[in-house]
Amino acid sequence: MIQTHIPPRRKFGKQIQKRQLEVPEYAASFVNYKALKKLIKKLSATPTLAAQNDSRQLAILADSQAALQANKATFFFQLERELDRVNAFYLQKEAELKIRLRTLLDKKKFIQSRQGVSRRSSKFTTLEEGFQQFASDLNKLQQFVEINGTAFSKILKKWDKTSKSKTKELYLSRAVEVQPFFNATVISELSDQATTNLQELGAWSDGIHVTFQTSGHVVTTQHFMGTDEGDADSLLLETVIAGNLESLRDLLAKMQSASAAPEGDLSLMERVTRTFLAAIHEAPRNALKVLLDTGLVDLHSYDDINERNCLHQAAIYGRQHVLEWGLEANVSVDRIDVYGRVPLHYASLHGRQDMLSALLTARRLWTLSTTTILHR
């Protein structure tokens, strides 16, 4: 008879450590399971009897119930601090995800309003990637909730076993399960919306009719069509990509003339910057340079869906001239996009050695200048 070796099940504390390594941005916010276990062990070792020659102290400490209550207060005080920390982090992440979903839904409405948007267009691809990343981040939060819920249950079970009490079920129902992080409804609703929208985008790209439900330097992806600005911005992007320099200069002059007020200048800068970021991947160099020469491009800006700046885009699409413009303007080389990647990641991923060298040099110079300033 062949004996099948079944590997030992990973201890729960090790499961938490593994998850912390997998999702470093969540690492510090998991319940400190190891510390709580140590606390239980320490409290269980607390002597309940005093030295034989001290009759007064013996009389006080002989009351094991009093000792248990003191230990119980210490343990549950620390447990509540852990619960507060986990819950605060969850609420922060939940709020961030709700804002991201609202932004994605706004962008989907805009793309819907455009006729003939290609499945291969950068706007469609960026939006689809945005929903996919949203679903992935939501799954991370779901696992965070599940692991911490299990941690509180297990640590209470250990406490009951050590203290010979029965507090687990009562504490879970009255203190843990009533917390926002333990409410599965919100995550479930967000997950349903992400799944539905991804399915709708997929069906739409396949030509199937679907009835859709309706910070500093950050720029929105596009104005809504059906407005004068939306139409002008769409025309501007098409003209830049086509590389028609004469038409481009004429259109920019008209847009500048129409934005004479100070607030108009700010609005126009956002629109031209948005166009620049959207056109990086396919517009010719001289057309992008015309945009840049207007002084209306904020090279430090980043897209509000994928959170990439011009250096990310340059590294992805191999646009050396855009990388040089960004580095000359001291655009952040450490800017992290929604996928947790800096421009260096993409330069390495696509094997762009010249870009890697330029980005590493810029990073060293920035670090050196920062260190010099701090030591003055």
Length of the chain: 376
Q: Any bridge partners for residue 309, and if so which?
A: 302
Closest CA to 181 of 151, 154, 160, 136: 151
* pLDDT tens readout for residues 241-277: 999 999 999 999 998 888 765 555 668 898 899 899 9
Rounded Cα–Cα distance for residues 169 and 171 (Å): 6
- Residue 346, SS3? helix
Apex 8 CA angle, 7 and 10, nearest 5: 115
Q: Which residues contact 153 (CB under 8 A, 6 or more apart)?
A: 168, 172, 176
Rounded Cα–Cα distance for residues 94 and 98 (Å): 6
Q: Which amino acid is at 83?
A: L
What's the pLDDT at 65?
60
What's the pLDDT at 329?
95
Q: Among positive and negative, which fits the CA dihedral 230, 233, 237, 242?
A: positive
Main-chain dihedrals φ then ψ at residue 115, nearest 5 degrees: -85, 135
Rounded Cα–Cα distance for residues 317 and 314 (Å): 5
Whole-angstrom Cα Rg for the chain: 29
pLDDT in tens, the chain (376 residues): 334 343 445 688 888 888 888 888 888 899 999 999 999 888 887 554 444 445 555 455 555 566 667 788 889 999 999 999 999 999 999 999 998 998 888 888 877 766 555 666 677 888 888 999 999 999 999 999 999 999 999 999 999 998 888 999 988 888 888 888 888 888 989 999 999 998 888 887 665 544 444 344 554 544 433 344 556 777 898 899 999 999 999 999 998 888 765 555 668 898 899 899 989 988 999 999 999 999 999 999 998 888 899 999 999 999 999 999 999 999 999 999 887 889 999 999 889 999 999 999 998 887 766 555 444 5
Apex 286 CA angle, 283 and 291, nearest 5: 80
Main-chain dihedrals φ then ψ at residue 272, nearest 5 degrees: -70, -40
* pLDDT tens readout for residues 82-108: 999 999 999 999 999 998 998 888 888
Tokens of 9: 């099940």
Q: Among positive and negative, which fits the CA dihedral 271, 341, 99, 122?
A: positive
Alpha-carbon distance values, 350 to 306, 331, 355 (Å): 18, 21, 10
Rounded Cα–Cα distance for residues 40 and 155 (Å): 9
Alpha-carbon distance values, 123 to 131, 186, 305 (Å): 13, 28, 10
Find out whether 165 and 75 touch, Cβ atoms under 8 Å: no
Rounded Cα–Cα distance for residues 143 and 180 (Å): 15
Closest CA to 12 of 173, 147, 117, 143: 147
Rounded Cα–Cα distance for residues 167 and 160 (Å): 6
Apex 277 CA angle, 125 and 216, nearest 5: 110
